[in-house]
Structure 1
Amino acid sequence: MTGEDQHEEQRRPLATPDELAVYLGVSKATIYQWSSRGGAFPLFRVGRHLRARWSDVDAWLDEQVAA
């Protein structure tokens, strides 16, 4: 990965719970449950909003496929 690629990865928009629910085809409540149980990607606070890194979601999906 070049320095420019790494910079683009760092600037990738964060995912909202609504976006994650649509992307994964589940309810927003399921997103919250998965995250709170620690078994999926972490949700973190940005101000008063919950967000996730797309790279964490991608890594979690890769683990699910490998399992």
Structure 2
Amino acid sequence: MDRKTAAKYLGISPNTMAVWDCTKRYDLKPLKVGRAVRYRKSDLDAFMQRNLQS
């Protein structure tokens, strides 16, 4: 999915996600196809599981 869709899925802004990618703050493993950035749903699910707060 693209960055906008992935950000909505995670409940954050696309700009926040772009900063995280640029600074490598979190291991989201973006896929780059040319200039396009894409994310696997399975990677986003794993990210949410690792960062779950109860």
The C-alpha deviation readout for 1:3-53, integer Å capped at 9, x for no partner, is xxxxxxxxxxxx100101211221111011122222130222112211111
Structure with the bigger RCO (C-alpha within 8 Å, sep 6+) is: 2
Contact 2:10 2:44 in 1 (8 A): no
Q: Which amino acid aligns with 2:4?
A: D
Runs (5+) with no aligned partner, structure 1 = 1-14
Select the structure that is richer in helix. Answer: 1
Q: TM-score, normalised by structure 2?
A: 0.75
Report % sequence identity. 30
TM-score, normalised via structure 1 length = 0.64
Unaligned 5+ segments in structure 2 are none
Aligned length: 53
Partner of 1:44: 31
Q: Which has the larger radius of gyration?
A: 1
